[in-house]
Amino acid sequence: MVKKTAAVIGAGIAGIAASIRLANKGYDVQVFETNAYPGGKLSSFELKGYRFDAGPSLFTMPHLVDELFQLSGKNPQDYFDYLRLDETCRYFWDDGVKLTAHANQQAFAEEIEAKLGEPAAHVLAHLRDSAVKYDVTEKLFLHRSLHKIGTYFNRDALKGYLNMHRLDAFTTMNRANERHFQNPRVVQLFNRYATYNGSDPYQTPATMNIIPHLEYNIGAFFPKKGMVDITNSLVKLAQDSGVTFHFNTKVTHLETEAKRVRSLSFEQTQDSGHKTVIDPSYRRDDNKPTTQDYDIVVSNMDVVNTFRKLLPNAKQPERILRQPKSSSALIFYWGIKQQFPALGLHNIFFSNDYRAEFTHLFEKKTLYNDPTIYVNITSKHKLDDAPDESENWFVMVNAPNNDGQDWNDLINKTREAILKKLSHNLGVNITELIECEEILDPRLIESKTSSSQGALYGNSSNNRFAAFLRHANFSREFQNLYFVGGSVHPGGGIPLAILSAKIATDLMPY
């Protein structure tokens, strides 16, 4: 019997997950990726003896990755291994106050009481509330299309409606957190979770207080071979399942006819020359793909660019495409020739004025001169990520999405501000310890992954209707076209991008 064929545009994590699910459904699957490597944002590179994960650094909901192996009849541990973290983050304030967020809820709550005087009971109540919110939203919003009528008429939906008031959709995250906590630093700590989907805690609905549930109730994890192993192990699984990857192959146009995508046009791209580690197996199939009629086409390209670039003559869903985008990021990858026992895998150095920082990011669309700094050091767990006596620092600040700002000027100023703040907090001149450096800014995020405005998470979630203003996982106009990834339902971040592949493939007719 001739197999049905599927084309996947983009080998981001959602495209890879979709390819595995399609192969499991019996399709002959071809993945077309413009870069020389898979993973999109979830990739890694090496620089002078240091290894860096290029994008995501926090791994939550690993069962969604495991599920793809199980679905394919494989043992996840044969491909992919990870550990659960005992502490989720270390927090620092400029006046010397430090706090460790232990994975154990009781220990975390007690640490907050000891260091900041906030009753432990308040923290525990907040985490319970987070779990309830997650329970109400999970089945309704995360596992199903919001654009199919069946989603709204079933037992899970009914349970959701009855508990809708628990979601706190009519107040902001910041207001709810000010209600829950007395100490402004505890409010700041929990407001930070808005940044996990690129939103503003002073605008995003308090529903987003579901996010701490992922870290404190389900857990934070670390892949033993680094974040990039999520990509590498799933590509291996996809290849073992019969999926063919075509790297350096950009999809340039979708030809449509009679309410279907009829064919794809391609362009061979050059290696961009940056330092991404390229596994030889990525080049397993370098045959120039031929234009052909696929039964199913799945776009993992940002939905804005799928319409604007691949389907310019199709009806554009303007209202959805024009939604404000999430924040982006400015990252300095530094090889640091010293080890810092005071630091852990995840570290946050808070701004002294969080509200001003977010006003700058989302209203003024620029960077604040005292930004909150995130330092991720994978060599704490994966020792060979840095030379002896050294550490690989991934230093990130939230940045506005790309709107044509003078990035070179912002990068110079922010680099100075970061070095000053970190040197102050750690009591040593960090500038003198930097052995090598690479920089990623919103322009580069946009050009390397085709993300509209370099947003990390597609649309922002700064209003209570945001979930309904993401594009569906299917096309209303073209019967064989589907969408996956952080720019469509249910949203950005690794877990949701993986879930988008499940939702899209569940909607396919066969």
Q: Give the binding site for ligand FAD (CB under 6 A).
A: 9-15, 32-35, 40-42, 55-58, 250-251, 300-301, 329, 331, 445, 449-451, 456-457, 485-486, 492-494, 497
Contact 411, 439 (CB under 8 A): yes
Q: Which is nearer to ligand FAD, 130 or 305 (CB)?
A: 305
Please, what is the minimum distance in Å from the beta carbon of residue 243 to ligand FAD? 15
CA 9, 506, 81, 127 torsion-angle sign: positive
Note the Cα 397 to chain centre separation in Å.
Answer: 15
From 173, 185, 177, 192, select the one nearest 118 (Cα to Cα): 185
Minimum CB separation from ligand FAD for residue 34, in Å? 4
Unique residue bearing structure tokens 């995501």: 56
User: Which residue, 168 or 462, has its beta carbon nearer to ligand FAD?
Assistant: 462
Q: How many CB atoms lie within 10 A of CB 57?
A: 20
β-pairing, 5-9 vs 28-32, is parallel
Rounded to the nearest whole angstrom, what is the least distance from the CB of residue 196 to ligand FAD in the complex?
7
Of the two residues 201 and 493, which places its CB atom closer to ligand FAD in the complex?
493
Residue 493 Cβ vs ligand FAD, minimum distance, rounded to whole Å: 4
In the complex, minimum distance from the CB of residue 309 to ligand FAD, in angstroms, rounded to a whole number: 7
- In whole angstroms, the minimum distance from the beta carbon of 498 to ligand FAD comes to 8
Written as one letter, the residue type at 133 is K
Minimum CB separation of residue 263 from ligand FAD in Å reads: 14
For residues 171 and 108, give the distance between their C-alpha atoms in angstroms, rounded to a whole number.
Answer: 26
DSSP state of 368: -
- Give 16 or 109: the residue with its C-beta nearer to ligand FAD: 16
Q: Which is nearer to ligand FAD, 41 or 471 (CB)?
A: 41
- Are the CB atoms for 166 and 136 separated by under 8 Å? yes
- Rounded Cα distance between 128 and 119, Å, is 15
Map residue 297 onto helix, strand or coil. strand
Distance in angstroms (rounded) separating the CA atoms of residues 448 and 440: 10
Pick between residue 180 and residue 246 the one whose CB is nearest to ligand FAD. 246
Q: Minimal CB distance to ligand FAD: which residue?
A: 12
Output 168 or 357, the one with its CB closest to ligand FAD: 357
DSSP 86-149: SEEEEEE-TTS-EEEEESSHHHHHHHHHHHH---HHHHHHHHHHHHHHHHHHIIIIISS-TTSG
Q: How far is the CB of 264 from ligand FAD (least distance, A)?
A: 9
Q: Which residue lies nearer to ligand FAD by CB, 360 or 489? A: 489
